[in-house]
Amino acid sequence: MKFPLLVISLIILFINPASISAHFFPNITSIPASLIPNGTGWEAFNSLLGCGRGMKVGGLAKLKKYFQYFGYLNSSSADFSDEFDDPFESAVKIYQLNFNLDTTGVIDAPTLKHIVQPRCGNPDVVNGTSTMRFGKPSNTNSTIHTVGHYSFFPSRPRWPDSKSELTYAFLPENQVPETVQSLFSRAFDRWSEVSPLTFRQITSFRQADIKIGFFSGDHGDGEPFDGVLGTLAHAFAPTVGRLHLDNDENWVIDGNFITAAPLSAVDLESVAVHEIGHLLGLGHSSVEEAIMYPSIRSGVRKVELANDDITGIQELYGSNPNFNGSGPVLTPRQERDSSSGHSLSGHVVLFIVVVGLFSLLFV
CB–CB of 208/202 below 8 Å?
A: yes
Could you list the beta-strand ranges (E) of the chain: 24-25, 125-126, 129-130, 136-138, 146-148, 165-170, 198-201, 210-215, 233-235, 242-246, 250-252, 265-267
Rounded Cα distance, 132 and 141, in Å: 23
**Distance from C-alpha of 306 to C-alpha of 288, rounded to nearest angstrom:** 10
Closest to 309 measured CA to CA, from 295, 290, 283: 290
Asked if 282 and 151 count as a contact pair (C-beta separation under 8 A), the reply is yes
**Using CA atoms in the order 174, 175, 180, 184, what is the torsion angle rounded to 10 degrees?**
60
Distance CA 14, CA 355 (A): 12
Nearest-5° Cα angle at 338, 337 to 342: 155
- Cα-Cα-Cα-Cα torsion 232, 238, 240, 246, nearest 10 degrees, comes to 10
d(CA 88, CA 82): 11
Known binding residues are: 120, 209, 219, 221, 226-227, 234, 244, 246, 249, 274, 278, 284, 292
CA–CA gap between residue 95 and residue 90 (Å, rounded): 9
275 included as an active-site residue: yes
Note whether 40 and 115 are within 8 A (CB). Answer: no
- Catalytic option among 275, 289, 304, 315: 275
As a whole number of angstroms, the distance between CA 294 and CA 42 comes to 16
Q: How far apart are CA 90 and CA 106, in angstroms?
A: 10
What residues are annotated to the active site?
Answer: 275
